[in-house]
């Protein structure tokens, strides 16, 4: 492979992602570096200002001591022989050096300071380089005032060797300490970040196992209930719901396949038997009627499946309008009276008309009432079914009760599950597919309401639907 192709491959490759552990440590180290630099700069500048201020204070003390020791003999100034440090005395009128160390007067900064004091009369303190060894000195230039008259200008120098030595040592200590501190902090940060993020690695491994299809697996949750502990609890709850949803979906798919297989088998067997030999017109008609009944059952099942599938996908749109619940519930009761007579069941309407006003989809609410009343007629052979609509507080209550066979307590938690049947043989004989109550539950929840059932074996059942009101009654 040529160098060009190797370079092209390296450029096209995606950079490896940096782990959170490394990024956290890098950000922590960078922040610590900024804090250390700011603290070191503040410390250095503060100490420097303090040391220079201390040097200036000592210069002022020395200047006052020298000034107090000045004396005149024969018109000439005499200094105390114990005067500290290099000094010089100038004539204020012409700036001429009267006596003292001539090297002070040769430095440009000192000459400039002398000129400023002569013009303003105010003391001046400046740092200057003095001597062949380029040693730093702090030089104070101040007027000597006698009886409000400037008689002399005094310059006094003090070595800054101790100050600079102290600052250099501090700077060396800072330059040595900061890298060492950052190194220790980075190592400790990597260690602590690794320990803190260890639960994340365990969560990642468990999530990979779950993602491979093992929804029964759960994340290990710490007992501390910190942020990662709460995350683990939340993920476990989510996985449990996903497991339940997938199990429900698998059951739904299996039940739907089973339910569709039955009418298809009927159609296929009827067609095969009928076509096996010539038949009379009456036999052909009976076979076609059986096929038509199986097709009707399949169509009903497919319609219910499509309704629930759209509901699960959120595509089942409702057209909400103010509806008098009692009015159309009474219409449903009237519509089912012939079916009740056929089954020798007394169907009684006990509600008010027009009844409370609800905000609902008239077609879906009609489907809800039809399914519940029809279900009651199936479960109360030669009995009585009572239907009522009333208002309770801010809710409309639709109730269907029968004195039929009732429902055992072990079936009540599953009564609204899809394809759930208490009596498989009777449900098939009555033409049910086990989706009616599931659709009723969805319709009630889609309207912001609820549905529940109370039942005792041998005494009958009562289904109650509660929906929010759209407004006051008419």
Instruction: Determine how many CB atoms are found less than 10 A away from the CB of residue 332.
Output: 20
Q: Model confidence at 50, in pLDDT bands (50, 70, 90)?
A: very high
Q: Which of 60, 323, 19 is nearest to 190 (CA)?
A: 19
Give the per-residue pLDDT at 425. 45
Cα separation, 129 vs 139, in Å, equals 9
Inform me whether the pLDDT recorded for 391 exceeds 50. Answer: yes
- Per the DSSP assignment, residues forming a β-bridge with 141 are 124, 155
Query: Model confidence over 405-429: pLDDT tens digits?
Result: 888 888 888 788 777 766 554 444 4
Q: How many CB atoms lie within 10 A of CB 350?
A: 12
SS3 325: helix
Confidence of residue 259 (pLDDT cuts 50, 70, 90): low
Which residue from 306, 238, 91, 420 is spatially nearest to 230, judged by alpha carbons? Answer: 238
Query: How far is the C-alpha of 201 from the C-alpha of 194, rounded, in Å?
Result: 10
Q: What is the pLDDT of residue 342?
A: 86
Is 15's pLDDT higher than 60?
Answer: no
Of 438, 439, 443, 435, nearest in space to 301 by CA: 435
* pLDDT tens-place string over residues 322-339: 888 888 888 888 888 888
Per-residue confidence (pLDDT) for residue 320, from 0 to 100: 83
How far apart CA 295 and CA 283 sit, in angstroms, is: 18
For residue 137, the surrounding DSSP H or E stretch is strand 135-146
pLDDT > 90: percent of the chain: 12
Q: Decide which of 70 and 393 is more confident.
A: 393
Biggest CA–CA distance in the chain, Å, is: 164
95: left (phi over 0), alpha (psi -120 to 50) or beta: left
- DSSP annotation of 386 reads E
What gap in Å lies between CA 83 and CA 324, rounded to an integer?
113
> Which structure tokens are listed for 402?
């029968």
Residues contacting 20, CB < 8 A, separation 6+: 193, 197, 200
For the cut 70, the answer to whether the pLDDT of residue 270 exceeds it is yes
- Rounded CA-CA distance 336/377 in Å is 9
Would you place residue 169 in the very low, low, confident or very high pLDDT band (cuts 50, 70, 90)?
A: very high
Between helices 436-446 and 362-379, what is the axis angle to 10°?
A: 140
Of 347, 335, 420, residue with least CA distance to 378: 347
Label residue 370 by pLDDT band (50, 70, 90).
confident
Predicted pLDDT of residue 340:
87
Cα atoms in the 13 Å half-sphere on the side-chain side of 263: 22
Is 0.75 topped by the overall pTM? no
With bands split at pLDDT 50, 70 and 90, how would you rate the model's confidence at 173? Answer: very high
Q: Mean pLDDT throughout 294-303?
A: 71
Q: What is the mean pLDDT of residues 298-303?
A: 70
What does the mean pLDDT of the chain come to?
Answer: 78
- Output 64 or 27, whichever has higher pLDDT: 27
**What was the pLDDT predicted at 12?**
45
Dist. CA 449–CA 468, nearest whole Å: 6
Across the strands, what pairs with 96?
none
**Predicted confidence band at 109 (pLDDT cuts at 50, 70, 90)?**
confident
Q: Strands, DSSP E only, in 22-123?
A: 71-73, 76-78, 87-90, 97-100
* CA–CA–CA angle 372, 373, 377 (5° rounding): 120
Read off the pLDDT of each residue in 111-119 and give the average, rounded to a whole number.
80
pLDDT at 394 over 80: yes
pLDDT given for residue 7 in this prediction: 45
Q: Please enumerate in sequence order all residues whose Cβ is within 8 A of that of 99, keeping only pairs 6 or more positions apart, or say none.
A: 77, 79, 88, 89
User: Could you tell me the two tokens for 454?
Assistant: 């109370």
pLDDT category at 262 given cuts 50, 70, 90 is low
- What pLDDT, on the 0 to 100 scale, is given for residue 473? 47
């Amino acid at each position: 492979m040529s160098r060009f192709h190797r370079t092209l491959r390296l450029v096209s490759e995606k950079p490896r992602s940096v782990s959170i552990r490394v990024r956290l440590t890098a950000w922590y180290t960078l922040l610590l570096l900024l804090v250390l630099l700011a603290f070191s700069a503040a410390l250095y500048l503060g100490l420097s200002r303090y040391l220079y201020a201390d040097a200036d204070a000592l210069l002022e003390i020395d200047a006052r001591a020298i000034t107090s020791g000045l004396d005149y003999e024969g018109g000439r100034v005499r200094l105390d022989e114990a005067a500290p440090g290099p000094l010089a005395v100038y004539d204020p009128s012409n700036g001429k050096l009267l006596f003292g160390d001539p090297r002070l007067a040769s430095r440009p900064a000192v000459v400039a300071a002398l000129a400023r004091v002569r013009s303003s009369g105010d003391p001046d303190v400046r740092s200057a380089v003095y001597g062949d060894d380029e040693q730093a000195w702090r030089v104070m230039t101040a007027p000597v005032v006698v009886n409000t008259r400037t008689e002399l200008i005094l310059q006094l120098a003090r070595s800054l060797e101790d100050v600079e030595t102290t600052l250099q040592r501090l700077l060396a200590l800072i330059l040595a300490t900061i890298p060492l501190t950052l190194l220790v902090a980075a190592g400790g940060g990597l260690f602590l970040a690794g320990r803190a993020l260890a639960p994340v690695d365990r969560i990642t491994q468990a999530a990979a196992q779950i993602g491979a299809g093992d929804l029964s697996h759960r994340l290990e949750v710490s007992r501390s209930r910190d942020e990662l502990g709460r995350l683990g609890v939340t993920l476990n709850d989510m996985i449990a719901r996903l497991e339940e949803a997938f199990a429900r979906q698998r059951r739904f798919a299996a039940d739907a396949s089973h339910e569709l297989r039955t009418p298809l088998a009927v159609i296929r067997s009827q067609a095969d038997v009928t076509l096996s030999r010539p038949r009379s017109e009456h036999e052909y008609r009976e076979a076609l009627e059986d096929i038509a009944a199986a097709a009707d059952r399949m169509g009903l099942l497919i319609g219910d499946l499509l309704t629930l599938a759209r509901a699960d996908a959120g595509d089942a749109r409702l057209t909400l309008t103010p509806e008098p619940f009692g009015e159309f519930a009474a219409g449903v009761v009237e519509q089912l009276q012939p079916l009740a007579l056929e089954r020798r069941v007394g169907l009684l309407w006990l509600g008010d008309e027009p009844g409370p006003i609800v905000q609902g989809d008239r077609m879906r609410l009609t489907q809800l009432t039809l399914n519940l009343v029809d279900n009651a007629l199936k479960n109360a052979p030669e009995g009585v079914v009572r239907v009522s609509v009333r208002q309770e507080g801010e809710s409309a209550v639709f109730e269907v009760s029968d004195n039929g066979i009732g429902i055992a307590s072990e079936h009540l938690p599953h009564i609204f599950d899809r394809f759930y049947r208490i009596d498989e043989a009777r449900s098939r004989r009555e033409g049910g597919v086990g989706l009616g109550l599931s659709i009723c539950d969805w319709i009630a929840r889609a309207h912001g309401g609820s549905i529940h059932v109370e039942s005792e074996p041998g005494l009958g059942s009562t289904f109650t639907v509660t929906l929010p009101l759209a407004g006051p009654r008419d």
